[in-house]
Amino acid sequence: MMKSKKKLIVIIVASLLLGAALMFAALYFFPLNKSQIINKLEKEVTITDEGISEAVSKLYDAVVVVESYKNNQKVSSGSGFVYKKGDTLAYIVTNTHVIDEAEKVYVTFSDGSRKEVSVVGKDAYSDIAVLSIKADYVLAAATLGSSEDAKLGDTVFTIGAPIDSEYYGTVTRGILSGKDRMIEVSIESSNDYVMRVIQTDAALNSGNSGGPIANSNGEVIGVTSMKLVSNGVEGIGFAIPIEDVLSYIDKIEKGETIARPFLGVSLINLSDLYNLYQNSITVPEEATGVVVASVVDGSPAAKAGLQKGDIIYKVGNDEVKSSAELRYYLYKYEPGKTVQMSYIRNNKSNTVKIKLVASE
């Protein structure tokens, strides 16, 4: 037994020695070319990043600083960009809240030239305003792209004047973080409203408002509108999709009034238990939607038979969970159109068609 173990050990040791000898001989007679190995590794791990400088240069001269004045005092500033240049006039888009209180509006171009512009029109709910200027003053017009074709994770960038005009032309880069976000905002101090937006982690500040957000080809896919500000929240910025922007600027540019439909109800969210109690309204625990608090006499809602305590849960085919959402979906319809609404009354579901009128 002991002899067998000794024999096995000898065989193993001999095999190891033979293997080592063969390896030494191979390396001695057939040396490796180290430079070839290094060069091969370098080729395999080479990383190139061309950045977005070319895309930025395509858009840069189309972006402007927008400054609003009242009583010869600057009241606000933001950004904007030339979206169309004709033979005599060029048109600039920005946010309504940037020029809302203005008596005079000036824009500054990338070459430092500063010109007064005319306000063609604006719309508070879409937060879109259109300015016009002589075409000869304009350096370049932006190329418009598509937010619908953009994919999550795509590179995007903004150009604007964060904080103030002193930082004009600041470029920030990020990715497309989200699409079709429904963000609740405050309009005209008290009315809540929902906006459909795209989300990015590119750094945005108040002076970026009205400026472009573009893809890596330098094509504008949205107009910067707001930044979510909250303790512990960073890198969440929003922009209005360019498709929505175009639907509004076409009407504004033509001088058409963007009329909003009037329903004729006051509403209470289901989460607002205090106001429900104050109005003596009780709702089922499992209910979803928004509660009718009162109905205006002679209004479309009154003519359709809506009553206090009804819980509206659908506008057309869109489900609603708050007054802000209901207003958003309602405003997709033009005055004169008929909308179908679904509501709960006495624990029973009902559907009614309502012909809308223009809001005064």
pLDDT at residue 256, as a whole number: 84
CATH number for the domain spanning 278: value is 2.30.42.10
Q: Which of 137, 164, 185 is a domain's end point?
A: 137
Range from 77-86, 158-167, 211-220, 282-291 carrying the lowest mean pLDDT: 158-167
More confident residue, 190 or 259: 259
Spatial neighbors of 299 by CB under 8 A, at least 6 apart, are 262, 263, 264, 265
Model pTM score: 0.77
Closest alpha carbon to 314 in 292, 338, 288: 288
Please report which confidence band the pLDDT of residue 48 belongs to, taking 50, 70 and 90 as the band edges: very low
Q: How confident is the model at residue 183 (pLDDT cuts 50, 70, 90)?
A: confident
156 lies in the same domain as 248: yes
Nearest alpha carbon to residue 135 among 192, 190, 83, 211: 83
Same-domain check for residues 168 and 243: yes
pLDDT in tens, 271-303: 999 999 999 999 998 899 999 999 999 999 999
Give CA 114 to chain center in angstroms. 29
Residue 186 · residue 192 · CB < 8 Å: yes
Are 64 and 120 in a shared domain?
A: yes
Amino acid in the structure at residue 349: S
Q: Rounded to whole angstroms, how far apart are CA atoms 122 and 206? A: 19
Looking at the fold, whether 160 and 202 belong to one and the same domain comes out as yes
Range of the domain at 35: 2-45
Lowest pLDDT segment from 177-191, 262-276, 287-301: 177-191
Q: Are residues 231 and 185 in the same domain?
A: yes
From 7, 308, 254, select the one nearest 120 (Cα to Cα): 254
What DSSP element (H or E) covers 41? helix 34-45
Task: Give the pLDDT of residue 246.
Answer: 94
Q: Determine the average pLDDT of the residues in 114-124.
A: 94
Note whether 134 and 88 are within 8 A (CB): yes
pLDDT confidence bin for 194, thresholds 50/70/90: confident
- Residues 293-318: what's their mean pLDDT? 95
Query: Annotated active-site positions, please?
Result: 97, 127, 209
- Given a contact cutoff of 8 angstroms between Cβ atoms, the answer to whether 156 and 135 are in contact is no
Same domain, 269 and 305: yes
243 and 167 in a single domain? The answer is: yes
Domain final position from 212, 231, 253? 253
265 has pLDDT over 90: yes
Structural domain count, the chain: 4
Of the chain, the end-to-end C-alpha distance in Å amounts to 109
What is the C-alpha to C-alpha distance for residues 157 and 139, in angstroms, rounded to an integer? Answer: 20
Q: Do 57 and 111 have their domain in common?
A: yes
Task: Report how far residue 305's alpha carbon sits from residue 72's, in angstroms, rounded to the nearest whole number.
Answer: 52
- Name the domain boundary from 201, 233, 253: 253
Count of CA atoms in the C-beta half-sphere (13 A) of 97: 18
Task: With beta carbons less than 8 A apart as the criterion, state whether 237 and 204 touch.
Answer: yes
- 255: Cβ–Cβ under 8 A, 6 or more apart, which residues? 120, 121
Q: Residues 69, 128: one domain?
A: yes
Residues 23 and 72 in one domain: no
With CA atoms as reference, report the closest residue to 220 among 143, 139, 126. Answer: 143
Q: Answer whether residue 184 shows pLDDT above 90.
A: no
Q: Which of 20-24, 94-98, 209-213, 346-350 has the lowest mean pLDDT?
A: 20-24
pLDDT of the residue at 279: 93
Burial per residue of 270-302, b for 16 or more beta-carbon CB atoms within 10 angstroms, e otherwise: bebeeebeebebebeeeeebbbbbebeeebbbb
Q: In this predicted structure, what is the pLDDT of residue 255?
A: 86
Are 234 and 165 in the same domain?
A: yes
Cβ atoms within 10 Å of 192's Cβ, excluding its own: 17
> Residue 158's closest CA among 89, 80, 102?
80
Write down the pLDDT at residue 233: 53
In whole angstroms, what is the distance from residue 145 CA to residue 148 CA? 9
CATH number of the domain where residue 230 is located? 2.40.10.10
Q: What is the mean pLDDT of residues 332-354?
A: 94
Kindly state whether residues 171 and 215 are assigned to the same domain.
yes
